[in-house]
Amino acid sequence: MTLGPPGLKTMVAWAGTRPPEAPTAVATSARCELCPIGIGDDHRHLLHLDERRIVCVCETCWSMRSGDPEFRPCGARSLILEDFVMSDHVWNAFQVPVGLAFLLRSSVSKSVIAMYPSPAGATESELEMAAWDALCEANPTLELEPDAEALIVNRTTRDHQYAIVPTDQCYKLVGMIKSQWEGITGGQGVDRAIAEFFDGLRARAAA
Ligand SMILES: [Zn+2]
Ligand SMILES: [Zn+2]
């Protein structure tokens, strides 16, 4: 295992919080992390802003703790952006080495961060602001709620895909990718995980 940038370790921890099969994950996801109440698989998440991790919570803690300064509720909307425009020039300026990334505005670092999957989990880098501003200018609908929402960029397929999703969904995808990763490039399992994720988004958008 190689050591990545400082953010990598926490990102990996965050990304790997809930692999569904892992026995420890069953124990933690079955309980609210802020009180002793049991919760089902389908539960709410808060973001811990300083620790940069996702906290599984019950409905009561969600409504009572969402306003705490250290927490932020994950976004609620999933939006596929059909007419999104991202030039190769802008994308190259972000210097993301793979074709899939999540871009999010961090209220802690006051910057825009790209996270992208790797065999070790999520790796992150700060984006060049001029390129981000150019992207926002080209796409007036691109308004991200800081920390809570991310723009998913998928340029691994012939038709590029873009969507705004709640941050916990990004980490779910990173976890799926990590568990499917083969070889250096990720292999077919990764392509499948990405395709399934976007199918799920489409299904929810159509529902
Ligand atoms: Zn609770
Ligand atoms: Zn959870």
For 203, the token pair is 């299904």
Question: pTM of the entire structure?
Answer: 0.78
What are the phi and psi torsion angles at 12 (to 5°)? Answer: -60, -45
For residue 198, which of 80, 26, 83, 71 has the smallest C-alpha distance?
80
CA of 39 to the centre of ligand 1 (A): 8
**pLDDT at residue number 70:** 93
pLDDT per residue as tens digits for the range 13-31: 344 444 434 333 434 457 9
Domain positions in the chain: 7-73, 79-206
Ligand number nearest CA of 19 is 2
The residues, ordered by sequence, that sit 6+ positions from 88 with a Cβ below 8 Å of its Cβ are: none
Judge contact between 104 and 153, C-beta under 8 A: no
Average pLDDT of the residues of the chain: 83
CA of 84 to the centre of ligand 1 (A): 38
**pLDDT at residue number 177:** 86
**pLDDT at residue number 205:** 77
CA of 30 to the centre of ligand 2 (A): 9
Ligand number nearest CA of 172 is 2
The model's confidence at residue 206, banded by pLDDT at 50, 70 and 90, is confident
CA of 29 to the centre of ligand 2 (A): 5
Ligand number nearest CA of 46 is 2
CA of 170 to the centre of ligand 1 (A): 23
**pLDDT at residue number 51:** 80
Ligand number nearest CA of 20 is 2
**pLDDT at residue number 42:** 86
Length of the chain equals 207
Ligand number nearest CA of 58 is 1
The alpha carbon of 168 is separated from its chain's Cα centroid by a whole number of angstroms, namely 6
Share of the chain above pLDDT 70, in %: 86
**pLDDT at residue number 190:** 86
For 131, the token pair is 């390129």
Is the model's pLDDT at 9 over the cut of 50?
A: no
Query: In whole angstroms, what is the distance from residue 128 CA to residue 196 CA?
Result: 30
Starting at the earlier edge strand, list the strands of the sheet with 111-118. Answer: 79-80, 161-166, 149-154, 100-106, 111-118, 121-126
**pLDDT at residue number 46:** 93
Ligand number nearest CA of 37 is 1
**pLDDT at residue number 166:** 93
pLDDT per residue as tens digits for the range 50-107: 887 889 999 999 999 999 999 999 888 999 998 999 999 999 999 998 899 999 999 8
Q: Once rounded to an integer, what is the mean pLDDT over residues 130-153?
A: 94
